[in-house]
Amino acid sequence: MYVAVKGGERAIDAAHAWLDRSRRGPVDQPVLDTAQIRDQMGLAVTRVMAEGSLYDPDLAALAIKQACGDLIEAIFLIRAYRTTLPRFGASIPIDTAAMRVKRRVSATFKDAPGGQILGPTFDYTHRLLDFRLMADGELPTEPLAEGDETEPAATPHVLSFLNRDGLIEDAAPDETPPADLTREPMELPADRALRLQALARGDEGFLLGLAYSTQRGYARNHAFVGELRIGMVAVEMDIPELGFAIEIGEIEVTECETVNQFKGSRSEPAQFTRGYGLTFGQTERKALAMALVDRALRWEELGEEDQGAPAQDQEFVLSHCDNIQATGFLEHIKLPHYVDFQAELELVRRLRAGLSDHEEDAA
Amino acid sequence: MSDQAYNFAYLDEDTKRMIRRAILKGIAVPGYQVPFASREMPMPYGWGTGGVQVTAAVMTPEDVLKVIDQGADDTTNAVSIRKFFQRTAGVATTERTSEATMIQTRHRIPETPLTSDQILVYQVPIPEPMRFLEPRETETRRIHALADYGLMQVRLYEDIARHGEIATSYAYPVEVAGRYVMDPSPIPKFDNPKLDDCPAIQLFGAGREQRIYALPPYTHVRSLDFEDHPFRATKADHACAICGSASSYLDEVITDDAGGRMFVCSDTDYCAQNAKGGA
């Protein structure tokens, strides 16, 4: 007997009620507090803020809770919220040289003014499950070492020392106002500012894969981590009524500057080139990947050869790096396609029967 | 009724204005894909965000909205989108094609002929008809600018050479007003003739791809073909098992473990009216 596909509305309501119950889990366990997510799942929170393009740890924690820990779903919630917010202006560019760093490493110099600061990192941890965390999760009793609270002295960028000697390409300030890809349709080819904007909110996994591909020879660009720094920076905004900029808040960012293969010719002295990554929060895998992909995308401007590598192809990278676009379109194939499939069925049946349109006409 | 936390029909007025400008441009240049700054919507890309933005931009409080997916009002995503507008705009909704002033659709054109008082909004996944022949946007924009559509003709010819007919059964490309080649969205080619000379305004929204395009009323829309292989709209060679219509597009439904099948109208409103004898 034919049962029509009726009752979609009731099915949707019931499915969502089920989702609410499964999110809550067993009711004899305490409910997860968004403050706990914010403070104890900090790296998930920063990923959601970075790819959601909205710096708000509380909302990111809420999104993670609502999404049952599915970070792409959480990013989607944040994006959908962000798009409704009014834009009342743009900040002046943040000054990352004035960052209050909690982590700062350079792989190119053993030491540099400001020093190397490991900060809270997984690097050099042994990846052994720590069963104490399962038992009680209490902190070790050793007190923090002296000097862990970094004093807010300005820490100059490592690459500025290379720049002083002309060994690396100059990163001259560009006063052109950057386009906003959330307010204008992306036009290709995109300039570097727009590319960086897209990469900054791009999927960490996608950028990781692309960056990795450059390391394995698909448009290799010999990246050294000139500097990776994480810390708090002030956000300042020009207030027209005041006539000067005031600080409106602080955000945590990760900045990565790479020193890449040099270029040069008979007429131009050899010089290192740069890749750049900047992301919200402590998201260093993302910032590193972004810097490598940024550098790969600069092949044309630097007069390099088009190797046909995916990471060099800005249309490929920019059209596919957004995980909210990608996941939506991927998952839409779950929606009904009865009509198109029916059309295909008829076509295939007709082709298999060896009937052309003309023969069918005659029949 | 409507959710006071959001503007009427969800989008803010500036965004609606931006979208309306794109729509007007699209209507002025029929079949041309107008880039627009598509917003992130509270439903996923690929699930009708383009159609929803277009609908939201042109909707007025007096409108009566019908939403269909696969021709049916009660498919899950149609239900979801209809609820969205009930909640954010509080407009009246209907399942009757003839009562609606706006119809948002995915994959079908209603069987009941549309009128000049109606707007049909299509959800479009891939607006670029040349996309699977040429993946680069920079290149396809050049192709459209120069009306350099030879690639498409060759593809259609190769289909005939290989299969004896043009092996495209849905999203069948059309030429609009003698100029732009356009993707009519993944409607079955059975629906293509309804695009032509239609009294209603037809608007196409592709959210993820940031494109809007349009067919003004009574636009000539020709399905691409060859003189010796003319376009033919096809459907399953059956009549509807519920209403008996022999002229409507049919869904095939598997009814038992032994592979039993039946064919029923994909357009649920048409089927119900026809069964009542009032279509």
Partners of residue B34 on adjacent β-strands: B212
Is the pTM here over 0.95, yes or no? no
Question: For residue range B127-184, what is the model confidence (pLDDT) as tens digits?
Answer: 999 999 999 999 999 999 999 999 999 999 999 999 889 999 999 999 999 999 999 9
Q: What is the pLDDT of residues B188-242, one digit of tens each?
A: 999 999 999 999 999 999 999 999 999 999 999 999 999 999 999 988 889 999 9
Q: Are residues A348 and A246 in the same domain?
A: no
State in words which class domain B13-223 has: alpha beta
| A280 and A336 together in one domain | no
For position A84, what pLDDT does the model report?
A: 81
Q: According to the model, what pLDDT value does residue B78 have?
A: 94
Burial of A16 (0-12, 13-18, 19+ CB in 10 A): exposed
Same domain membership, residue A310 and residue A261: yes
Q: Is A339 inside a domain boundary?
A: yes
Q: Which of A35, A51, A82 is the last residue of a domain?
A: A82
In a domain, A38, yes or no: yes
CB B256 within 8 A of CB B213: no
Residue B225: the pLDDT is: 96
The region that residue B70 occupies, defined by phi over 0 for left and psi between -120 and 50 for alpha, beta otherwise, is: left
Q: How far, in Å, CA of B116 to CA of A161, rounded? A: 70
Tell how many helices (H) and how many strands (E) occur in chain A. Answer: 14, 4
- The amino acid sitting at B232 is R
Whether the bond into A189 is cis, omega within 30 of 0: yes
Beta carbons of A178 and A90 less than 8 angstroms apart: no
DSSP H or E segment with residue A253: strand A244-263
Beta strands B201-206 and B211-215 are antiparallel
Helix, strand or coil, per DSSP, at residue A359:
helix
Does any domain span residue A351?
yes
Give me the pLDDT at residue A44, please: 98
Q: Which candidate in A322, A339, A340, A360 is best for mutational testing of the B interface (most B CBs within 10 A)? A: A339
State residue A2's pLDDT score: 41
pLDDT at A141: 67
CB-CB under 8 Å, B138 with A189: yes
Q: pLDDT digit string (tens) for B13-32?
A: 999 999 999 999 999 999 99
- Specify which residues A253 forms β-bridges with: A231, A280
Q: Shortest Cα distance from B25 to chain A (angstroms)?
A: 15
B46-65 mean pLDDT: 96
- Chain B residue closest to A2 (CA)? B255
Give the separation between CA B69 and CA A59, rounded to whole angstroms: 33
Which chain A residues are within 8 Å of B39, Cβ to Cβ? 83, 182
Hey, are the CB atoms on B6 and A84 less than 8 Å from each other? yes
Give the separation between CA B58 and CA B118, rounded to whole angstroms.
12
- A299 and A221 housed in the same domain: yes
A262 and A225: one domain? Answer: yes
Q: What is the pLDDT of residue A6?
A: 57
pLDDT given at position A79:
95
Residues A255 and A311 in one domain: yes
Q: What is the per-residue pLDDT for B6?
A: 80
Contacts of A253 (CB under 8 A, 6+ apart): A94, A96, A99, A230, A231, A233, A278, A279, A280, A281
Helix count and strand count (H, E) for chain B? 7, 12
| Closest Cα in chain B, distance from residue A329 (Å) | 4
Q: Give me the pLDDT at residue A149, please.
A: 55
d(CA A57, CA B38) in angstroms, rounded, equals 26
* Rounded CA Rg of chain B: 19
Q: How far apart are CA A335 and CA B105, in angstroms?
A: 13
Report chain B residues whose CB lies below 8 A from the CB of A325: 45, 208
Q: What integer is the mean pLDDT of B65-91?
A: 94
Alpha carbons B248 and A243: distance in angstroms, whole number? 68
Same domain? For A202 and A307 the reply is yes
Domain range holding A340? 331-363
**Which residues of B are identified as catalytic?**
31, 240, 243, 265, 271
Q: Quick one: tokens of B145?
A: 């600018």
Q: Output the tens digit of pLDDT for each of chain A's 363 residues.
A: 344 445 678 888 999 999 999 999 999 999 999 999 999 999 999 999 999 999 999 999 999 999 999 999 999 999 999 988 888 888 999 999 999 999 999 998 888 888 899 999 999 999 999 888 888 777 766 766 665 555 556 788 988 888 888 888 888 888 888 889 988 998 889 999 999 999 999 999 999 999 999 999 999 988 999 999 999 999 999 998 999 999 999 999 999 999 998 777 777 788 899 999 999 999 999 999 999 999 999 999 888 899 999 999 999 999 999 999 999 999 999 988 989 999 999 999 988 887 654 554 444
A308 part of contact set with chain B, CB < 8 Å: no
Q: How far is CA A88 from the centre of its chain?
A: 24
- In this structure, what DSSP letter does residue B189 have? G
What ipTM score was computed for the predicted complex, to two decimals? 0.86
Q: What is the DSSP letter of B85?
A: H
Same-domain pairing of A105 and A248: yes
The number of folded domains in chain A is 3
Q: Strand order in B221-223's β-sheet?
A: B180-182, B174-176, B221-223
Q: What is the pLDDT of residue B2?
A: 52
Interchain contact, A84 vs B41, CB within 8 Å: no
pLDDT band at residue B279 under the 50/70/90 scheme: very low
Mean pLDDT (chain B, rounded): 94
d(Cα A79, Cα B39) in Å, to the nearest integer? 9
For an interface test with B, the pick among A335, A341, A360 (most B C-beta atoms closer than 10 Å) comes out as: A335
Q: Are residues A287 and A232 in the same domain?
A: yes
Residues facing B103 on adjacent strands: B66, B120
Of A8, A183, A331, the CB nearest to B79: A8
Domain edges within chain B:
13-223, 235-279
User: In Å, how far is B57's CA from the nearest CA of chain A?
Assistant: 15
Beta carbons of A339 and B136 less than 8 Å apart: no
> Is there a contact between B207 and B250 (Cβ–Cβ < 8 Å)?
no
Tracing tokens 């727009």 back to the chain, one arrives at A194
Same domain flag for A104 and A72: no
Examine the domain organization and report whether A113 and A48 are in the same domain. no
Q: Is residue A213 part of a domain?
A: yes
Residue of B nearest to A6 (CA): B74
